[in-house]
Structures are given as structure tokens and as C-alpha cells.
Chains A and B, each alone.
Chain A
Amino acid sequence: MNISPVHYIAFPLLAAFLIPLLAKLHKELVRIVPGIVLGYFLIISATLMMRVHETGTISQVIAGWSAPWGINLVFSAFSGFLASLMSLIGFLAWLYSYRFKKVDDEPSQKYFILMMMLVTGSIGIVLTGDIFNLFVFMEIVAISSYALTAFYTGRDSAEAAFKYLLIGSFASALILLAILLLYTQTGTLNMADLASKMHLVSTPIKASVLVLFLVGFGIESEMFPLNGWAPDAYSQAPAPIGAIFAGVVVKAGVYALIRVIFTIFGFSGAFEPLIILGLITMVVAEVSALRQDNLKRMLAFSSIGQMGVVLIAFGIGTSNAVFAALFLMFNHAIIKSLLFFSGSYLLYNSKTKSINDLKGMAKKNAFTALFFALGAFAIVGLPPFSGFWSKLYLLMSAADSHMFLLIAVILIMAVVEIVYYFRVVGKLYYSKETTDIEVTKPSINGMLVIAFLGLLILAVGFYPDLITGYLHQAADSLMDKTAYIQDVLTANI
């Protein structure tokens, strides 16, 4: 059996259905099996990325019906890049939470199933070539994230989950309506086929479909003004899930939005609504982040702000800007995960999760504090770290398109970012008084994950060429709509 994109979906499902039975054999299997699956994701990613590099887009049909008739999975340079990124973050989150909770507790069994399906669903969104199948995967992601947000019984997590559920169901209703409208006009659900039949759709319907998709997927990608769920969900969910939300789930939402705009609607060049929405999202989120006292909420707002920047970059729409957007997504995924992982150890015993509880933590917990600081420096875009390059490329591409006002706003927001991240780092290192909160030393797997992410940030910071070549290829593959249609519709079984 050759490795193929469908393994991303088939094996985790097999594992998820098996785990309740395996739990009767040995409790430990419940934690190990998801890890094996997520580790296998890395192997699939590596193999397929290599194959894509050599032979181009892989389009795999399912159930033996070729593209417009059946459902297919598309592993292009672009979707493959996102799937690999998600696999990486998913595996690291699993490793980090391996000693997460006592395994005799029944919920820990459910935790690992839900976490694995959260990653699988996101990868499914990215890989699928069918718009309704995308909706189904979105629901898989949605249901597991509601349950995971409400995972801790002690906190206000049920409230956060309920908010998330309300907004999420609203989004899925809108997306269903949009899919229905598209289906009536084109008679197909395959995205490549839709893209080639878009000329059949009359303008008013096109406009309403675009608005519906923009709002629906905008909710998933934390776009203003429908991102009220995000800070609550991030701060109430377990820390590794926060990292998955920032590194995986949001990316899937952005992917869906971008796929619809670039491929189905075939916009090329600057797409102003996206720039404007991204700008508002960024400004509102960064300013709100300034006022947060809860560290996780601050990280959540910062995450929303970063997604705003990504949307701006996609909105500019030149090949270089898309490249910058992908670079930003990559950086955001690894750096935000690092911040969530290390931040959660720093505040492990703090009840309020307040930033003030971080005072002088660097002395007690030097290792974690160091990597937290590294992450903070990287995300605001200081030079030797990877965050610097993505911001630089973004500004360069904006300058190419003569959007100087945009550059000014992004720079001002970068200053805001610096202020609130440095406030935290300052509390860590330069606070005279120290809190009397007990420190928890990270477990060995937690340290491994944190160190790996830190080193990855440094490596990409010093040698951005490690990934820029691949990112350029990914950006080109996203921009080339005709090649996508070609690859999907002519793929042989």
C-alpha cells in the first residue's frame, strides 16, 4: 500500500474507532495510539512533499469516481505545506500533553481521541477538493473543539464552549446556504469544477455567495467582528489545545477562505475587502491585547491580530504577498505554539493566569522563561528570529503594490505588539518582587517540545532559505487556478 493523501483521514478514523476497544486491553494504549497516528502523519507529509516536489500535484480520487463525480483529495504544494505544518503542530501538541492527565480518568481517553480528530479534521479541510466535504470536515473540527474547550470542568469553560458553538453553528448555516446556492447554479460540488463553471453564475447570486462564504469562513479564521469566541475558547481550553487552535484550526479556516476567493471565485490581484477586514481585525485585536491581564487571552488576541496580518497579505494578492502570507502562517503556527506551551508551564499553578503572576518567574523557571522570551521576540519580528523575515517580506510586497498607508499601520501595530509582549518579558526578568506561586518544572517531553520549537525558530531565522523555496512553490500553486483545475479534472484513477 503506497502512501497516499487518504492515509491522513483513514488511519486516524480507524484509530479513533479502535481506541474504545484498545482501552479495555491496556490504559496506556489510549495515549500512545494517537501519538503513533500523529507521528505517522509526519511520515506521510515528508513522503508526499517529496513526491509533490518531483512530480507535481497529487490528486487522489475516492470510491473510484473521478473528479467531478466523486470526492477527491488534492495534495498540492500549497495544501501539502499546510497539511505538513498541521501534522507537525499536532504531533508536538500530543508529545506535550502526553503526561497531561492521569490516564485512569476516562476523559483523558476522550481528550486524546478529540485532539487527534481536531488535527485530522483540519487536515481534511485542507486536502479535500469538494466543497461539501469541506463542510463535513469543518463540522468534525467544530464538534471536537466545542468538546475540548469545555474539557476542564472547574473553570468557565462551558460558557466559552457555548459561545463558540453558537457562533460556529451560525457559520456552518451560512456556509451550507452558500453551498446550496452554488450547487443550484452549477450543478456540481467539486471545487475545481465549480471554478471552471463560475461563469454560469449570475452576478447577484455570486455576490451573495461571496458574502456568505466571507462571513462563514471569516468566523473560522477569527476575522473581525465575528471573533468574540476566540479569546474565551483559547483561554478556557487546555494549553495544548490553545496551541492547536492557533496553529491548526485557524489555519484551516484561512485556507477555506482563501481557496474560495482565489480558486472558486478566481480573484487575482488585490482583493480590497480582505485587506480592509484584515486591517480592522488586526487593529482591534492588537489594541485589545494591550488591555488584557490574562496571559492566554493576550495570546489569543495576539493570534487574532496575526491572522489579520495574514488576511491582509492574502488580500494584496501578488505572488510575493501570498508567499509572505504563507511564511507568516508558518511562523505564527510554530511561535504561537511555543508561547502557549511555555506560557502554560509558567502559569501552571496560578489560579487567575494573570500576567502579574509572572513576576520574577525567570529566576525560578529559567528554561521555560528563556524560551518564552525567545518566542515573544520572534513574534514581534525582531531580526535574528524567523518572525522578522515574514514581516519583512510582507512589507516588501506591500511596498511593491504601493500600499504605503498599509505599511504605516502594520508598523504602528508592530510597536503595539512590542509593548505588550515586552511588558510580559519585563515582568519575567526585571521584576524586583517575585510571586510566591509555586513553579512546576516542565516534564521531559514538554521541555523537548519547547526546545525543538525554539531551535526551529532560530534555524529558520538564520537560514530562511530552508523553507522559502518551498513556500514560493506553494504560493505559485495557490495562485495558479488553471493548473489546479487541470490537475484535479484530468487526474486518472
Chain B
Amino acid sequence: MQMIQQIISVSVYGSAIALLLIGLYAVLTKKHLIKIVIGLSIVDAGLHLLFVAVGYINNGTAPIFSPGNENRVLQMVDPVPQALVLTAIVIGFATTAVALSLIIRLYKHHKTARIDEIKTLKW
């Protein structure tokens, strides 16, 4: 049992942190703007997974009082991180949309979407 818990823990936390790092790697090294935004959304995905993972309780149920089991409060997983993630997902989409629209405008202007071909983007 201990072993199984360990495996689940490692795979959930591990994949979430791996997503964070992979996304960050893309943001820092990739040259194409769309790749950078993909990196950002991978970072976001990792964060969202971390939020949900932290709220999970072994053998918990979803935080909904469905008819019939209205008294299972003790077994519910933590609802707060889930509520926060809802907000974070929507905000993440808004940021991605703005980033993509900026890319479209940059492409119109420079006819390219690569950082190394747009001088003013270097820093």
C-alpha cells in the first residue's frame, strides 16, 4: 500500500514538475514566438496539475453532495485548490489569446515570427 502511494505521488508530482521545467526550457531557449507561447501554456498546465494534486486526499470523493451521500464530508477532497484552478485556467487562456494576437501583429509587421529575426525583440 505504501509502495502504491509512493508511486502515485512520484508520478503525479513528478510529471507536474517536469511539465513546469519543460515549459520553462522552451520559453528560455526557443526562437519561435509560437513555441514560446506553447512553452507558457505547458508551464500553466504543470501548475494546474500541481494545484489539483495538492488538494487530493487518498480515497477522497469529489466535493459534491450528490443525492444519497449527502453526509460524506469527511471523505471529500479539498475544494479550494480546485476553485482556484478554475480561475487560473481562464486567466491562462486570456493571456495566451493576447500573446497570440501580438504574434499575429508582429508577423504582419516583420513577416517573420522568429525572435532572432526581429531586432527589437532582443534584449
Binding site for B on A (CB under 8 A): 132, 136, 139, 142-143, 146-147, 150, 153, 156, 158-163, 165-166, 169-170, 172-173, 176-177, 179-180, 183-184, 189, 228, 232
Asked if residues A173 and B43 are in contact (CB atoms below 8 Å), the reply is yes
- The stretch from B7-15, B59-67, B68-76, B100-108 touching chain A is B100-108
Q: Given contacts A150-B102, A228-B123, are A183 and B47 in contact (CB under 8 A)?
A: no
Q: Given contacts A143-B95, A146-B102, A169-B95, are A162 and B54 in contact (CB under 8 A)?
A: no
Q: Which B residues are in CB contact (< 8 Å) with A153?
A: 105
B99 nearest CB neighbor, chain A only: A165
Min CB distance B28 to A, Å, is: 10
Bound complex: CA A93 to CA B83 (Å): 36
Asked if residues A169 and B40 are in contact (CB atoms below 8 Å), the reply is yes
Asked if residues A173 and B47 are in contact (CB atoms below 8 Å), the reply is yes
Main DSSP-derived SS at the B contact region: helix
Q: Given contacts A136-B91, A163-B123, A228-B123, are A176 and B47 in contact (CB under 8 A)?
A: yes
The yes or no answer to B36 lying at the interface (CB within 8 A) is yes
Q: Which B residues are in CB contact (< 8 Å) with A150?
A: 102, 105
Q: Which B residues are in CB contact (< 8 Å) with A180?
A: 47, 50-51, 54, 81
Add 4 more A-B contacts to A165-B99, A177-B47 (CB < 8 A). A132-B87, A139-B91, A159-B120, A162-B103
Min CB distance A331 to B, Å, is: 29
Min CB distance A217 to B, Å, is: 17
Asked if residues A159 and B44 are in contact (CB atoms below 8 Å), the reply is no
Bound complex: CA A200 to CA B105 (Å): 49
The yes or no answer to B77 lying at the interface (CB within 8 A) is no
Min CB distance B40 to A, Å, is: 5
Asked if residues A162 and B50 are in contact (CB atoms below 8 Å), the reply is no
- Tell me which of A139, A146, A156 contacts B120 (CB under 8 A): A156
Bound complex: CA A136 to CA B89 (Å): 12
- Tell me which of A162, A170, A173, A176 contacts B102 (CB under 8 A): A162
Q: Given contacts A136-B91, A177-B47, A180-B50, are A170 and B98 in contact (CB under 8 A)?
A: no
Q: Which B residues are in CB contact (< 8 Å) with A132?
A: 84, 87
Bound complex: CA A189 to CA B47 (Å): 17
Min CB distance B64 to A, Å, is: 20
Asked if residues A159 and B54 are in contact (CB atoms below 8 Å), the reply is no
Asked if residues A158 and B102 are in contact (CB atoms below 8 Å), the reply is yes
Asked if residues A158 and B106 are in contact (CB atoms below 8 Å), the reply is yes
Bound complex: CA A162 to CA B98 (Å): 9
Q: Given contacts A180-B51, A180-B54, A180-B81, are A163 and B121 in contact (CB under 8 A)?
A: yes
